[in-house]
Structure 1
Amino acid sequence: MPPRKANRPSKKDEGLARTDNNLKNHSWPVVYPINQKNFYTDYLKRDDQALVWRQRSEVPRPEREVKDRGPILDGEPEKDSVGTDGKEDEEHPEVWGSRVIIIHPGSRNLRIGRASDALPKTIPNVIARQHAQSEWEEDPHPRPKRLRMEEEPKDDLEDAGDNTPQRRTRGSSRKSASLAEKEPSCAESSFQTLFNEISQELKMQMRQNKRRVLPNSREGVINHNKKYVPENIKEHNDPYRAEWTSVDTSLLHFVGQEALHIADNSLPRYKLFWPLRDGVFNEHDYLSKRRWHEDVTVILRESFLKELSIGPGDYEALSAVLVIPDLYDRIYVTEMLDLLLREFRFAQVCLFQESVAATYGAGFSSACIVDIGAQKTSISCVEEGMVIPDSRLNLKFGGDDVTTTFVQMLLTNSFPYSDINLLRRYDYLLAEDLKVKYTSLNEADVVVQFHNFHVRAPGEETIKYGFKTYDEVYLAPFSLFHPGILDTTDKLRGRRSLWERSYDLYDDVPNDPVSLAQESLHRPATAPAPATVNEDIEMTDDTNSAIPNKPTSTSLTVPTAGFESTPKTSHGGSPVPEEVSDIPEGANKAIVGNGHSKAGGSDPGDPDPEIEALPMLPLDLAIIESIRYAAKGDEKRSKDFFSGILLVGGGSLTAGLNHLLEERLIRQRGGLGNLTISSPPRELDPQVLVWKGASVFGKLTSTNEVWIKQSEYDILNSRVLPYKTLWMW
């Protein structure tokens, strides 16, 4: 029997059934799944999606052209268009480029000037501030370090208690110097050994070149210098007496040449501060970032006012071109850029690399730039106005190291002014003058010669010295090819104690620029070099020099304060292209340091910490290494770079450097074809060539897109740099 149906009404009849009334039960938007097979986005792929380009496109064309030309000073007419008679240009010949300031900071000198100037103004990049002690009083050890001599006169310690910094009678020395001479360190004995080795190498080289080498020449020089008696000259009889800076308790600081000419024993005492050292921040002499910023600001502000007659009220109407190193630290670039745009409030700032600026100044489209500065040597290959990233090398030696080595060699040969100390200002100026006058890389100058000089100390009579030289005038600049003899104990002291490394915002990994050529210098300190050698050249110990008995290693292992290196992706170093051969093992020994940083350097938790080693490589081998990584196996590109080597910087002024470098490159690698070592054209000073190239760039009208304006920097800060640099930031 079928079940009986209930007489209950249905839900539809009762109005309880759900019906589709197109009403949503929530207000949240419905996101449908993405079709993975046909996925595409144009986010940040068009110029109009970048703020800097969108702002530029939104500006009307007439106003945009005015902005591109830069702000105009009061009463200064615009440049006439084509077809005008040019009468206004004759009245205002400085208009074009006079609104652009070129700034080229260095470890020793600061070069500034308007783009319309023919040559820059050179100011020592130093500031003197009132301090409890001066430099020579803080450091008890004289510089350079003294070697223990076999025969010391009995009156060496006669005046050891004299505290005056200008005790200069023959055979006298300060107490600290005498104590330092008692027991020579390992570094000092190594210096004496290497000094004798390269001296013997020079003699053999001169004999091969059919030059006469007189026996016992050095012994004759030493005997003469020991017996020489200095001569006192009254102040009124000295026509070239030095003018020292007058000090007062109300004067808190001095800048530039005034700072260098402050007496060491002045009252009150002043201490010199160099904001840049070895091409990077000087973090050893500064205890805070704020003081460093204050010093850089004061140096720039007073230099602008004294040398260019530019006051603080004129900055907003000017543009600035900042010249930066090729292998730079991002922290350095961002700090300097922030200083110019936030502190000085320049209207716009442009960044320009040193090697590219050198090619602009010399008129080369492609070249291998060798910049020998005061405390660093940078090598980069430039092709069609762009630096090849993997060819950049940064070696931490330069003209100051040559000066220190020259003085140390003179002291080894019984220099009559035995109390010389490069920490004293007048002694440093004297040593620089002696280096410029007498050092040379011409073999014809390696003879016994007599010279004289005058020691002019503040508050004392002038003393005239005479001395003889032999091979030290050649061997001191020759240390560029034997960097193992250089004293590296003070290199990069305090590195990473104030500024940490730059890290990527998203990946949290170091993002400083990387160069395979620079990383190859650190490989001996981290991992054994591969055994493969390129077939077109076998660089063995015998090919490092024309002398077959050259020592297999010319490097000096001493403690140091750290080093500057580019970040690596692994502790084993970066891979080397198959066609690139390694540096010979005997030619490159990384100088391992013991981390004397004040704040410990890198973060211990960093998966890729910096290796505390200072790589040293002879100048000729460094050039070959840079060109190898630039050419990448292309023989034609390699020959093009070898035929366009350009020497710039103050260290390139050494007589005979071009000829010697050319000879050593041919010996290291034959069959180079047209090898050319060029000097700046038009008899331009190689020290100012980089600044001159930057001034040419600052006057170009086709470079409007690389200027960083105030409005852009206020919004994006340093994130604007990828859009405003000529290279890959």
Structure 2
Amino acid sequence: MDYLKTVVPSQLLAERGSNLVVINPGSANVRIGLAQQDAPISVPHCIARRTSQVPKRNVQDQLLNSQVTTAQHMERERAYDIIASLLKIRFLDEEVTNNQFSQKMGRVDGFPPQNNNKKETIIPWTDVLEKQTPSSSSSSSSSSEHGSSLRSEDPSTEKESNVNEEPSSTGHKYRECIYGEEALRISATEPYCLRRPIRRGHLNISLYYPMQQVIEDIHAIWEWALIEKLHIPRSERHMYSAVLVLPETFDNREIKELLSIVLRDLCFSTAVVHQVVLPAIFGNGLSTACVVNVGAQVTSVICIEDGVTLPTTQISLRYGGEDVSRCLLWTQRHHQTWPPIRTDALTKPIDLLMLNRLKESRCQIREGEVEAVAVVHSYEDGVPPGSHKTRLTALNVPPMGLFYPMLLVPDVYPPPPRTWFSDNEDMLEDTWDFPRRPDMSDGYFPGSGGYYPMWENYPVFQSRPKKQDTIGLADAITKSILSTGRIDLQRKLFCSMQLIGGGALTEGLVSAVEERVLHAIPSHEAIDTVEVLQSRTSPASVPWKGGAILGILDFTRDAWINREDWIKNGIYLGSGRKYRDSYFLQAQTMCYINS
């Protein structure tokens, strides 16, 4: 403790952060970096594998139905008109006559641009071929070793290595695996299948995307990031520890599988898991707050008091920034401002990438007509991208879908197969306090594709439902805080709201949250003040930064899990430690820092 009071922060970062890797995975992106770095590297959480399957699936996903029903369409139009009334803009089917809205007209590009020129540049197609030369063959084989060694369970992939569709005389061949943004920019005519291993805050398991493939893809993406982005080869991984900063939506079994990837497959010496909310408030120097995490596909709300998470306050909403991007496309098409091009955010990943950039640079929340001249692009298979200059309108409507989720109409997914999520008690609760069954052996059991962890042998508990798909963000925040039941804590939480996640970067969202939460509080509640606290760093990376600080300040390491212990026994009562001890550790650290 005396050392902590005298040491220079930069010295502490250099001493303890050089061999500590922090991984913060999400549905759309994974943020990864060394704890000593100022900010993480963020890459799309996806992988494209070469395939020879006929017919080819361009995207291996669990999407069930992307069609909007008549009832959903009517609800969406009603939600639009409600928002239009609040923002003082014309209704969905109302024509502008006699220039009646001219005095309220505003243009987003009149504000300081957020790298608008960069956002609207043409997104190039990915070059899926690699040139094999004597000098590059060894380096390319080493960099793709982690991808080619992880094969899909799809039988069609067994013969992929023997298929050479390209002319052999050119010396080119297809890349076996493509990661990150490059995977999103592959044309549908190329022999690749895109996979997103995490969807809507859970492992993206379906009949078309088996568990083993999901695990292999996560392993491959993280291995690629460690080698290509952080330059940490597998041979040196035993000298590093890992901090996993995971979303609250993950269930126990999903957390266990990710721990197995980090310790067993990626070969880190030790690892610890923190949920996003505690590193988020710790990264901002807080001890009590209502954390609102606006992610790409999931928005979650949860309260923390004195460094201790309150599980009963957790609310998870199945919508996020990507739904706002798709709503942007729907709004423009309804107003007939979108060019006559084939844009499909669900089946064409490059279109969603373009829409995300348009949303980030153009959408904001404020009253009045918000329009902007922008350049949108068409991406047709087999031809170069095209540019189309147009005037976008109602740019303040899509982000308001966070408060009126029926405007967003999230896509529909089937439930996971079998009983994968039966063991889905919240990891914040006492779900690990049970001995292993006497008929259960140590370690792993062999299977056709390697060794599988024995989590099936743990008892199954029923848990409460956490999803509240139709509730708006302001109502979710209000409901979460009021569920604490104590007026003193409620007042403190309403004045200590914290917005994190990529969606929190939306201009005008802070004031919109404050205004709408204040109106959502019932009149009989003795609360008349709300405030969103300003983040000390980027809201998108503050959980990663908090995880890095926690990992550096953790001197006792009581909650850390050794690789050998995990592979041999897992974590159970007889080991003398419990997985959730990390939460008490965080609370202790936070109390010390804020004292």
TM-score, normalised via structure 2 length:
0.72
Q: Counterpart of 1:380 in 2: which secondary structure?
A: strand
* Mapping 1:356-395, distance limit 5 Å: 356-395=278-317
Match for residue 260 of structure 1? Answer: 184
Task: Rate the CA distance shift 1:672–1:304 in 2: closer, same or farther, 3 A.
Answer: same
**CA offset digits 1:203-227 (Å, max 9, x no partner):** 43345xxx8999623999xxxxxxx
**Partner letter of residue 279 of structure 2?**
A
- Of 205, 208, 216, the residue aligned with 2:86 is 205
- Of 575, 582, 586, the residue aligned with 1:726 is 582
Match for residue 246 of structure 1? Answer: 128
- Of 405, 417, 424, the residue aligned with 2:340 is 417
Matched, 1:326 2:257: no
Q: What is the CA distance between 1:271 and its match in structure 2?
A: 0.9
**CA offset digits 1:503-544 (Å, max 9, x no partner):** xxxxxxx744589xxxxxxxxxxxxxxxxxxxxxxxxxxxxx
**Partner letter of residue 366 of structure 2?**
N
Q: What is the CA distance between 1:257 and its match in structure 2?
A: 2.1
Q: Counterpart of 1:391 in 2: which secondary structure?
A: strand
- Of 349, 357, 366, the residue aligned with 1:442 is 366
Q: What is the CA distance between 1:438 and its match in structure 2?
A: 2.1
8 Å CA contact 2:77–2:407 kept in 1: the answer is no
Matched, 1:429 2:353: yes
Q: Counterpart of 1:322 in 2: which secondary structure?
A: strand
**Partner letter of residue 625 of structure 1?**
K
Q: What is the CA distance between 1:329 and its match in structure 2?
A: 0.7
Taking only aligned residues, the RMSD between alpha carbons, in angstroms, comes to 3.7
Q: What is the CA distance between 1:404 and its match in structure 2?
A: 1.7
Task: Rate the CA distance shift 1:219–1:485 in 2: closer, same or farther, 3 A.
Answer: farther
Q: Counterpart of 2:578 in 1: which secondary structure?
A: helix
* Residues in 2 aligned to 1:607 and 1:240: alpha-carbon distance in whole angstroms: 50
* Residues in 1 aligned to 2:379 and 2:303: alpha-carbon distance in whole angstroms: 44
Q: What is the CA distance between 1:241 and its match in structure 2?
A: 6.4
Task: Rate the CA distance shift 1:385–1:443 in 2: closer, same or farther, 3 A.
Answer: same
Match for residue 106 of structure 1? Answer: 26
* Mapping 1:110-259, distance limit 5 Å: 110-131=30-51, 132=53, 145=67, 187-206=68-87, 216-217=95-96, 242=124, 244-247=126-129, 249-259=173-183
Identity of aligned residues (%): 24
Task: Rate the CA distance shift 1:383–1:219 in 2: closer, same or farther, 3 A.
Answer: farther
Matched, 1:676 2:555: no
Q: What is the CA distance between 1:200 and its match in structure 2?
A: 3.0
Match for residue 375 of structure 2? Answer: 452
8 Å CA contact 2:60–2:208 kept in 1: the answer is no
Match for residue 469 of structure 1? Answer: 392
Between 1 and 2, higher relative CO (CA 8 Å, sep ≥ 6) is seen in 2
- Of 619, 622, 643, the residue aligned with 2:473 is 619
- Of 538, 563, 569, the residue aligned with 1:685 is 538
8 Å CA contact 2:238–2:268 kept in 1: the answer is yes
Q: What is the CA distance between 1:672 and its match in structure 2?
A: 2.6
Q: What is the CA distance between 1:435 and its match in structure 2?
A: 1.6
* Residues in 2 aligned to 1:482 and 1:674: alpha-carbon distance in whole angstroms: 23
Task: Rate the CA distance shift 1:454–1:420 in 2: closer, same or farther, 3 A.
Answer: closer
* Residues in 2 aligned to 1:462 and 1:608: alpha-carbon distance in whole angstroms: 50
Q: What is the CA distance between 1:442 and its match in structure 2?
A: 1.1
* Residues in 1 aligned to 2:21 and 2:407: alpha-carbon distance in whole angstroms: 40
8 Å CA contact 2:501–2:541 kept in 1: the answer is yes
Matched, 1:407 2:288: no
Task: Rate the CA distance shift 1:447–1:608 in 2: closer, same or farther, 3 A.
Answer: closer
* Residues in 1 aligned to 2:352 and 2:6: alpha-carbon distance in whole angstroms: 56
8 Å CA contact 2:270–2:561 kept in 1: the answer is yes
Q: What is the CA distance between 1:459 and its match in structure 2?
A: 4.3
What residue ranges of structure 1 are gaps of 5+ in the alignment? 1-79, 146-186, 221-237, 503-509, 516-565, 567-601
8 Å CA contact 1:650–1:687 kept in 2: the answer is yes
Task: Rate the CA distance shift 1:498–1:298 in 2: closer, same or farther, 3 A.
Answer: farther
8 Å CA contact 1:379–1:626 kept in 2: the answer is yes
What residue ranges of structure 2 are gaps of 5+ in the alignment? 100-119, 131-172, 432-455, 586-595
Q: What is the CA distance between 1:332 and its match in structure 2?
A: 0.7
Match for residue 136 of structure 2? Answer: none
8 Å CA contact 1:242–1:456 kept in 2: the answer is no
**Partner letter of residue 313 of structure 1?**
S
8 Å CA contact 1:319–1:349 kept in 2: the answer is yes
8 Å CA contact 2:126–2:183 kept in 1: the answer is no
Give the stretch that moved more between structures: 190-199 or 426-435: 190-199
* Residues in 1 aligned to 2:187 and 2:97: alpha-carbon distance in whole angstroms: 35
Q: Counterpart of 2:543 in 1: which secondary structure?
A: helix
* Residues in 2 aligned to 1:628 and 1:488: alpha-carbon distance in whole angstroms: 27
**Partner letter of residue 396 of structure 1?**
R
8 Å CA contact 1:361–1:692 kept in 2: the answer is yes
* Mapping 1:283-682, distance limit 5 Å: 283-284=205-206, 286-414=208-336, 415-422=338-345, 423-444=347-368, 446-457=369-380, 459-471=382-394, 473-491=395-413, 493-497=414-418, 499-502=420-423, 511-513=425-427, 615-630=469-484, 632=485, 634-669=486-521, 672-681=527-536
Q: Counterpart of 2:238 in 1: which secondary structure?
A: helix
Task: Rate the CA distance shift 1:274–1:392 in 2: closer, same or farther, 3 A.
Answer: same
Task: Rate the CA distance shift 1:93–1:490 in 2: closer, same or farther, 3 A.
Answer: closer
* Residues in 1 aligned to 2:31 and 2:129: alpha-carbon distance in whole angstroms: 26
**Partner letter of residue 343 of structure 1?**
D
Match for residue 539 of structure 1? Answer: none
8 Å CA contact 1:417–1:465 kept in 2: the answer is no
Q: What is the CA distance between 1:197 and its match in structure 2?
A: 2.1
* Residues in 2 aligned to 1:219 and 1:318: alpha-carbon distance in whole angstroms: 67
